[in-house]
Structure 1
């Protein structure tokens, strides 16, 4: 974590305009974000994707092209040029914000030439059984990187640097398969969905190939030197040989002499899968708490039928809090995206209180929840939809203020009602006063709670409730919230 009570911000969403302005926007807003309480930012993949200046960054073409070379139809990426990226990192760090780079190791897309070789087709839904004999295929597996001309790395990629792809130029019609290349195997140290979820998309990188391993180690050393970043967000870790991550991370830390924070995206609602990844990687990589996100989604859709006493059941932050990055929404779960699992807008203030006001976990704020978002896209049913995502910036800033000034010390939970729950933080010598949080998914709620300060008047920082509350001689009081709402109570003298 970047600081005591640190808070990460995912500084992008899927539908940021492809106008090359995001890096400059961060440069301009870094001081304001730091003042609000943001201590780190997770930036989108900064290298050239197959769609050039339009690619969100996950269709990886060239990891060494940070918006520097004329490749795939543009010099800049969706977010700006190499120099603008480096300047954004510098300005963020000068403002006291650490910067985490998004790293996509799993696959490559947009090869420059086709190659012919032998491969065996497997069913996309089952990677255990072949659905045909070995055949000769032709696929886009030669990556020449002509715009870069060997700068930073001379390695060109060929079919033998990958283990699978889903495209064969010789196949006609609707034939769908994942083609396992001759002499290759699917990695088993991956999520076991679909019989083994090594293959995700594009040309699947073979991490057992020595030239790939060497180049990835070199890239880690290069990116830290070149940019000065403070850590990484690893994409799609459940599709990559798990043991690769601690090897790569330890090498990059050793080379750089920096501690380098790391969080992985193991997107699964099954907590056992997350525990297994943590065990295999020796606890070297934190994980996003996807099960908590799914709990938020369910609670937001169920309303007062959801038992809020169970909101943390089956979550990483409950089981392994020091390795949990807690979140409400992200670019994959937002409306119309591949893992769409929307947390309804009315519940988002409650969800952000549940990650920002509590002792455990490293909370991550989503750009589109903070600034709002408006976009159009096609849904899975083929129809076009217009989406408006609400800005919750005003309330999130209030929560950040409370986290920065008051969310310290012992935590007492009052999770004793299916709709109305609360907790208190008692403060410390350095941060006295503490706070009380109460929220309800049903009717207006009250919670009799201890804050540890006798005869002290508390006010609702959210301004939802005007009347103050005064504790008794033992430091207890009835703290209130409105229906379907949350209130954060802090000492009036500290406001």
Structure 2
């Protein structure tokens, strides 16, 4: 019994040494961890901005650098809208229209209060920008389609960015652009009127969001319009930005990223992680990384990585996936429900700490098979680097691995997943025997270990 108590104390000590240390300032611009602060169909009734505000102190203490919030403008569905059907861009929950004053998420003042709370904790706020289409307009005769269309936006309560059929495709300029979303009217970004009200003026939607404290941008459905739109938006307003280019064609994603000056979500990596971690096919992931089939392997500074989001949640074996994105290259996003509801919050906080304090530099994969993956981050700046060992098997495993970066050094296991305080000494020739626990989250075995120099933090 005494031995069990001692082990429990050691586990507690290692956990406190890693996850209870105040987070250092890892900024959004320097690759800090992002929290997606919503999911599809969050509770209605105007409580969500207040809900986020209440979560911010915990997220800040965990090391989150920024929160990504849902589209804030009044949508066609009023109080039921998740914001992806924008009607009045300048109604953030202050005008009665579409059956409500507040949006699904709350009032404008509650939004501003939430943003101010985030800033008071040193966190940036990322707005979800939906400018491919509009929704909820009135019927009008449209000579370009010889029929009636829902393109009359003359009655928006804000009085700003009124629009008609000339502001959508097809029009007198061209039939179409890069893509449409469902049957929603497709905004004609080539029109100076639409540019003026969306981003290219001090009266624009972008200016309005800046005025309430928005710091950064997540652009929705960027396959639907030219990359030049985001590039021009950023030339006006600057700030960190990422685009949702939902595709597995890495060349297409990087082409968009380079032409827009924004980052891009790494959908190819997302699907490869599903193949690797849900189907015990780690070689498929390794091949994708080695042969440039993911954004992070081609240009990690353009890659925003994720395990789930409000649109797609196919990876069920999430612990190794989060261990991967929080210790590998790229900028990781944590999904609200994973952190708040579905996974062990302490495990995620621990991985965030590891990301912010240890995970720097280039990557070398030193071992893999169908169930195991071991890679080294080589360190950069004040991040010394690490060794991640992922095990998908039902039994504890160990390997002799060659890690010359750590030759002759003491290395410590920073997750506590091996059941206590574990240090190893790497031989002067660079060889060390490392272990990873079984993968059995139901019984508190999370299937990964992370190692770095002793005494960090």
TM > 0.5 between the two?
A: yes
Counterpart position of 1:361: 330
Find 1:73's aligned residue among 99, 109, 118.
99
CA shift for structure 1 position 64: 0.5
Q: 1:459 to 1:320 in 2, by over 3 A?
A: closer
CA drift of 1:57 comes to: 0.7
Q: Deviations over 1:180-228 (max 9, x none)?
A: 45764112xx3xxxxxx34544111111222112211232452244212
Q: Is the 8 A contact 2:31 2:330 kept in 1?
A: no
Structure 1 residue 118 corresponds to structure 2 residue 130: no
Provide closer, same or farther for how the CA distance between residues 234 and 3 of structure 1 changes in structure 2, counting only shifts above 3 A: closer
* Secondary structure, counterpart of 1:246 in structure 2: helix
Distance change (3 Å), C-alpha of 1:305 and 1:4: closer
> Is 1:144 the equivalent of 2:154?
yes
Please state if 1:273 is matched with 2:246: no
Whole-Å Cα distance in 1 between the matches of residues 62 and 360 of structure 2?
A: 17
Structure 2 residue aligned with 1:162: 168
Tell me whether 1:232 sits opposite 2:217 in the alignment: yes
Q: Is the 8 A contact 1:304 1:441 kept in 2?
A: no
Aligned residue number for residue 340 of structure 2: 371
* Aligned match of 1:63: 89
1:314-333 to structure 2, matched below 5 A, reads: 314-333=293-312
Q: State how far apart, in whole Å, the 2-side matches of 1:290 and 1:204 are.
A: 24
Q: Which segment drifts farther, 411-420 or 211-220?
A: 411-420
* Residue 156 of structure 1, CA deviation: 1.7
Assess, with a 3 A threshold, how the Cα gap between structure 1 residues 304 and 145 changes in structure 2: closer, same or farther: same
Distance (Å, rounded) in 2 between the aligned partners of 1:213 and 1:302:
46
1:460-475 → structure 2 map (5 Å cutoff): 460-466=414-420, 468-474=422-428
Q: Aligned partners of 2:433, 2:360: CA distance in 1, in Å?
A: 21
- 1:42 is matched with 68
Distance 1:70 1:280 in 2: 39
Aligned 8 A contact 2:133 2:186 in 1:
yes
Map 1:326-405 onto structure 2 (within 5 A). 326-334=305-313, 342-344=314-316, 347-358=317-328, 360-372=329-341, 390-405=342-357
SS at match of 1:138: strand
* CA distance, structure 2, for counterparts of residue 279 and residue 459 of structure 1: 38
Q: Which structure 1 residue ranges, 5 or more long, are not aligned? A: 121-135, 164-179, 191-196, 254-259, 335-341, 373-389
Partner of 1:128: none
Q: 1:402 to 1:305 in 2, by over 3 A?
A: closer
1:285/1:305 CA distance change after superposition, 3 Å: closer
SS state at 1:303 partner: coil
- State the partner residue of 1:456: 410
For residues 452-480 of structure 1, the C-alpha deviation after alignment (integer angstroms, 9 at most, x for no partner) is: 16352523514244472421342542111
Structure 1 range deviating more: 477-486 or 440-449: 440-449
Write the mapping of 1:476-487 to structure 2, written as runs, cut at 5 A: 476-484=431-439, 485-487=447-449
Structure showing the higher strand proportion among its residues:
1
Give the TM-score of the pair, scaled to structure 2.
0.84
Q: Name the residue aligned to 1:176.
A: none
Identify the match of residue 212 of structure 1 among 185, 191, 194. 194
Distance 1:54 1:348 in 2: 30
The Cα shift of 1:493 comes to: 4.2
Q: Where do 5+ consecutive residues of structure 2 fail to align?
A: 1-26, 440-446
Query: Bigger shift: 456-465 or 261-270?
Result: 456-465
The answer on 1:52 being equivalent to 2:90 is no
**What residue is the counterpart of 1:87 in the other structure?**
113
Equivalents in 2 of 1:371, 1:322: separation in Å?
Answer: 28
How many pairs were matched up? Answer: 415
Residue 84 of structure 1 and its aligned partner are, at CA, apart by 0.7
Q: Distance in 2 between matches of 1:117 and 1:425?
A: 58
8 Å contact kept, 2:70–2:83: yes
Q: Distance in 2 between matches of 1:325 and 1:161?
A: 32
Describe the shift of the 1:286–1:3 C-alpha distance in structure 2 as closer, same or farther (beyond 3 A): closer
Which consecutive aligned stretches of 4+ in structure 1 deviate over 6 angstroms post-superposition?
Answer: none
State the TM-score, normalized to the length of structure 1.
0.78
Alignment root-mean-square deviation, CA: 2.5
Task: State the match for 1:309 in structure 2.
Answer: 286
8 Å CA contact 1:11–1:366 kept in 2: the answer is: yes
Using the TM superposition, give the Cα deviation of residue 411 of structure 1 relative to its aligned residue in structure 2, in angstroms.
4.2
Aligned to 1:329, what secondary structure does the other structure show? coil
Higher percent of residues as helix: 2
